[in-house]
Amino acid sequence: MKRWLLAGFLFCTPLFLSPYTLAATINTFASQMGGSNLVQLVHGEIPLLTTTYAGTAQQGTFPNALIFETNIAP
């Protein structure tokens, strides 16, 4: 009985509950140059990131800051 329930759950789950579908709706960005430049982080690519405030007046206050922003689509 447990096997039938498990099989039914795995094969009858709607696509909107799939983790792959959920992952396709999430966008993650790294803030660069004080927020004036957002670098999208894409799976499988290696972006060149610098500290967030490099080249701005706030570099002395936050010398090693690296900020990430995540947006989830509706």
Whether residue 5 lies inside any domain: the answer is no
Q: Which domain covers residue 61, as residue numbers? A: 14-72
Specify the 3-state DSSP secondary structure of 33. Answer: helix
pTM of the model: 0.53
Token pair listed for 7: 């099989």
Average pLDDT over residues 5-9: 62
Backbone region of residue 51 per phi and psi (left: phi > 0; alpha: psi in -120 to 50; beta: other values): beta
Q: Total domain count for the chain?
A: 1
pLDDT, tens digit (0-9, with 9 covering 90-100), for 32-48 = 887 788 888 887 888 88
Whether residue 2 lies inside any domain: the answer is no
Residue 67 has pLDDT above 80, yes or no: yes
CA 34, chain centre distance (Å): 19
